[in-house]
Amino acid sequence: MSEETPAPIAAARGDGRHTLTEAEGKELLASAGIDTPSFAVCADADAAVDAAEDIGYPVVVKVSSPAVTHKSDWAGGIGVAVGLDSADAVRDAADEILTTADERGIDADVLVEEAMDLDRGTEVIVGGIRDPSFGPVVLTGLGGVFTEIFEDTSHRIAPIDRAEARSAIEELQSLPLLEGYRGSEPADVDALADAIATVGDLVTEHPIAELDVNPVLATTDGVIALDALVVLEDH
């Protein structure tokens, strides 16, 4: 992996920001080889509808702003609209997000994204932090809404290789879900291990204080990052 400053980090630094937008976070992951859904960042509702037509329904519409890090909790839950299957639904969601942002004095766009079938796999969290005592640390565990409920995570000091990442996965109490539970398809654990190692590399090689990829959808044929929060170190 190149140690040159990736474009999304350079853009945030240039704007004097410590937080990347979700789109910038996903661009960073994609540049390192981690798959993401198709998406577009749009400045208005017309552009959002055009993007949805290009991506294909159903889509997800989210608020896109470095000022909003927890999108699903923002403005009473309007920051994320899922399962939108028509131009009218996309237009309404985009208008609501942009109007609310304007009322709150927030500079925001909308992110229009391909909707993924969560039943195809298991939601996993993959994260990295720069710990003041240990330096770069990478973690994985059960993701999505279950992250805080079960607190089933495993940690390693980064950088790590695929074998170390697999050992972290194998420590999880939720491992049976990834291996195929009651007839479900097993996840591609090697692909998940590669993603964990890649996140460790990103935190090791770049001025990243926190990198939170939650959820990662682990399926039988790979992994895909459905959300990304990246916080840069103070300079």
With bands split at pLDDT 50, 70 and 90, how would you rate the model's confidence at 151? Answer: confident
pLDDT of 146 reads 63
Mean pLDDT value across the chain: 93
Residue 83 lies in a domain: yes
pLDDT in tens, 35-56: 999 999 999 999 999 999 999 9
Q: Is the pLDDT of residue 69 over 90?
A: no
Q: In this structure, are 93 and 180 located in the same domain?
A: no
Q: In this structure, are 81 and 145 located in the same domain?
A: no
CATH of the domain at 190: 3.30.470.20
Q: In this structure, are 46 and 149 located in the same domain?
A: no
Q: Are 55 and 39 in contact (CB under 8 A)?
A: yes
Q: Is the pLDDT of residue 99 over 50?
A: yes
pLDDT in tens, 203-229: 999 999 999 999 999 999 999 999 999
The closest alpha carbon to 126, from 201, 215, 229, belongs to 215
Per-residue tokens: 26: 């996903």
Average pLDDT estimate for 122-128 = 95
pLDDT of 4 reads 84
Tell me the HSE value of 167 on the side-chain side, using a 13 A CA sphere: 7
pLDDT of 181 reads 78
Q: Residue 142 and residue 124: Cα distance in Å, rounded?
A: 5
Average pLDDT estimate for 94-108 = 97
Average pLDDT estimate for 126-131 = 96
Q: Residue 188 and residue 103: Cα distance in Å, rounded?
A: 44
Q: In this structure, are 85 and 110 located in the same domain?
A: yes
Q: Residue 179 and residue 139: Cα distance in Å, rounded?
A: 19
The closest alpha carbon to 61, from 33, 29, 88, 24, belongs to 88
Q: Is the pLDDT of residue 127 over 70?
A: yes
Per-residue tokens: 183: 């007839």
Residue 34 lies in a domain: no
Q: Where are the alpha helices (H) located in the chain, listed in sequence order?
A: 7-14, 22-31, 45-55, 87-103, 147-150, 162-170, 175-179, 189-205
Percentage of residues in the chain having pLDDT higher than 90:
85
pLDDT of 165 reads 98
Q: In this structure, are 227 and 170 located in the same domain?
A: yes
CATH of the domain at 54: 3.30.1490.20
The closest alpha carbon to 99, from 75, 66, 80, 130, belongs to 75
How many structural domains comprise the chain? 2
pLDDT in tens, 16-41: 999 999 999 999 999 999 999 999 99
Residue 61 lies in a domain: yes
Per-residue tokens: 134: 């240990």
H/E run at residue 215: strand 208-219
Q: Is the pLDDT of residue 2 over 50?
A: no
Domain extent at residue 166: 118-232
With bands split at pLDDT 50, 70 and 90, how would you rate the model's confidence at 169? Answer: very high
Across 81-90, 94-103, 143-152, 208-217, least confident range: 143-152
Q: In this structure, are 83 and 101 located in the same domain?
A: yes
Q: Is the pLDDT of residue 172 over 90?
A: yes
